[in-house]
Structure 1
Amino acid sequence: MATESPFRADVLKGKAALVTGGGSGICFEIAAQLARHGAHVAIMGRRREVLDKAVAALRSEGLRAVGFQGDVRNQEDAARVLASTVEHFGKLDILVNGAAGNFLASPEDLTPKGFRTGA
C-alpha cells in the first residue's frame, strides 16, 4: 500500500540524479521517488530492454527520465554514462550507486579492478 511522501513534492526541483541499477528493483523505486520529488533522473543498467521499460514507466507518470546502457564494473562505461548524464541534464547533483555486485572487499578497500570480480 502506497503512502503519501513526508517530503514536499518539489524538494528536488531542478536537481539531476544518476541511479546505477535503476532499471529494476529497489533502485528503480529510488529513481522513481527522486523523479516524483522533482529531480531529472538518469538510470544506468546493463540490459537495454530493462532500461527502456523503466524509462517508459517513469515517463508515463510525466517524469523526466533517460536511460544509459552500461556496466558499472567497466570503468569506461561508468565514465561514459556519467559524462552522458551531465551532457543531457547540464549537471549532476545526486548519485545513487545501487547497481548490484558481489565484492570481496569492504567499500573503502575496493579498487577499480574489484569491480571486475564476478564479471
Structure 2
Amino acid sequence: MIGDYIKSADFKAEKHVPVIEAPEKVKKGEWFEVEVCVGKEIPHPNLVEHHIAWIELYAMPEGAPYILRIGRYEFSPTLEEPYIKTKIKLENNAKLIALSYCNIHGLWEGSKDVIVEG
C-alpha cells in the first residue's frame, strides 16, 4: 500500500512536512483561503539535486465515502518555492490533507481539520 510509504512528523522539526494554513472554522458553502507550504520552520533546499517536486491538496469530508482531490501543484527547482494558495469551499466538516514529494526523501503528509458552521 502506498500509505506505508508516506511519512509524517512535526513540521517544526522536519523540513519535508507540508503545512496547511486555513481557518479553524468556516461558513458552509463560502469560499476561504488555504495555503500550503513545505519548509515553514526549517527551509527545504530548492536545488535541482534536492527539491520538492509537487504538492497535492485533498479534502476528506466528514461522512463521505471517498477523498476529494482539490489540486496538484508542480514546482520547478531553483525557480519556485514549494508554496501554494487557493480558495475552496466546504459543505461539511472536513480534514484537509496535503502530500508533498521530495525527489530524495519521498512522500510526506500534513493535515488540518476544518469545522463547517451553518
Larger relative strand fraction = 2
State the TM-score, normalized to the length of structure 1.
0.29
State the TM-score, normalized to the length of structure 2.
0.29
- Relative contact order (alpha carbons < 8 A, sep ≥ 6): 1 or 2 greater? 2
